[in-house]
Amino acid sequence: MPLQPSPLALTKEGILTYGSFGSGKTHAWASIRRWYELTDTPGRFFIISTEHEMAHRTAEGYLDGTPGNNFFSNAEIHETVDFASLLDVAQKCREQATDQDWIVVDSIGNAWNWVQDEQTIAQFGKTASEYRADGGKRMDWQKTNERYRSFLLPNVLRWPGHKFLCAQADKVSTEGDWADPIEIQRKYRPFNSQKPIGQKELPFQCHSVLFFSHPAKDDYRISTVDDPSREKLDDKPVADFVTSYLCGPAGWSVA
């Protein structure tokens, strides 16, 4: 019996997860893929990796041929190394997508970092971090955002199926020229003042924003940052993302 979205859902899933390294974000989308295989749910997973070989390392745990462990039966991994390759891969995946498919971007924060590098190298001959370290403040934000949106809008936000985005966590900045707006500081204060790395509008463009943490060995937890009309999770222990979230607050079922 296949996995079925909530009968009350009017939109496809649009999940943004963020947290530190090893907090369980990658295994969350891998859990969904595994359940799709186990339940013969139609749909493929287009996984865009911006962290070299990390998605392939995850796939290695699902290759022994037992039920649920035939990773490439319903998934494909595409490695990217800069904004140009990311845009090219995303466009090619989008051309093949159906409304039953998932796009996974792990980690999407690199898209914003890479487009800034592309722009500062073109303008000033140095990466964004080098430019800031040298005291640079004059970014052409309009051009940078337009270039970034050429990737995000048609290929991710308007993906016909479901979306699962992973981001690393970063400390909210409260001081200096690059301080986060006060509304951002307030929004993430309950979550150890940790925000997702990436363009500042991204969390508001996703249906569900979930903070992952890993306080101790074998202890993985999820907290809800934003999830309209769904039960809010408060540091909930999670062993399997599908049973703890997708078939929980998100209202999916096996039917």
Q: Quick check: helix, strand or coil at residue 212? A: strand
Q: Kindly indicate the confidence band of residue 90, based on its pLDDT and cuts at 50, 70 and 90.
A: very high
Q: Rounded distance, CA 251 to CA 64, Å?
A: 31
Q: Assess contact for 193 and 172: CB atoms under 8 A.
A: yes
pTM beyond 0.75, yes or no: yes
On the CB side of 34, how many CA atoms lie within 13 Å of its CA?
A: 22
Share of the chain above pLDDT 70, in %: 100
Residue 134: DSSP 8-state: T
Q: pLDDT value at position 242?
A: 97
- Where does the chain have alpha helices with state H? 25-38, 54-59, 83-96, 109-124, 128-133, 141-152, 182-188, 241
Omega of the bond prior to 150 within 30 degrees of 0, cis?
no
Q: pLDDT value at position 155?
A: 97
Beta carbons within 8 Å of 57's beta carbon, 6+ residues apart: none
Q: pLDDT value at position 76?
A: 98
Instruction: Give 172-180's long-range contacts (Cβ < 8 A, gap of 24+).
Output: 177/137, 178/132
Output the average pLDDT for the chain: 94
As a whole number, mean pLDDT of residues 81-103 equals 98
Q: Rounded distance, CA 50 to CA 240, Å?
A: 24
As a whole number, mean pLDDT of residues 81-92 equals 98
CA distances from 170 to 1, 180, 187, 226, 250 (A): 40, 11, 14, 17, 26
DSSP 73-116: GSEEEEE--SHHHHHHHHHHHHHH--TT-EEEEETTHHHHHHHH
Q: Kindly indicate the confidence band of residue 135, based on its pLDDT and cuts at 50, 70 and 90.
A: confident
Q: Is the pLDDT of residue 245 over 90?
A: yes
The residue to which tokens 């997508």 are assigned: 97
Q: Is the pLDDT of residue 137 over 80?
A: no
Q: pLDDT value at position 142?
A: 92
Position 119, amino acid? Q
As a whole number, mean pLDDT of residues 192-197 equals 90
Q: Which pLDDT tens digit goes with each residue over 5-47?
A: 999 999 999 999 999 888 899 999 999 999 999 999 999 999 9
As a whole number, mean pLDDT of residues 118-123 equals 92
Q: Which pLDDT tens digit goes with each residue over 150-190?
A: 999 999 999 999 999 999 999 988 877 777 788 888 888 88
If one counts every other C-beta atom within 10 angstroms of the C-beta of residue 141, the result is: 10
Q: Rounded distance, CA 18 to CA 151, Å?
A: 20
Q: pLDDT value at position 215?
A: 86
Burial class (CB in 10 A: 0-12, 13-18, 19+), 184: middle
**Among the ranges given (68-82, 90-104, 128-142, 227-241), the one the predictor scored with the smallest mean pLDDT:** 128-142
As a whole number, mean pLDDT of residues 88-94 equals 98
For 79, phi then psi, to 5°, come to -85, 140
Q: pLDDT value at position 222?
A: 96
Sign of CA dihedral 240, 243, 249, 250: positive
Q: pLDDT value at position 140?
A: 87
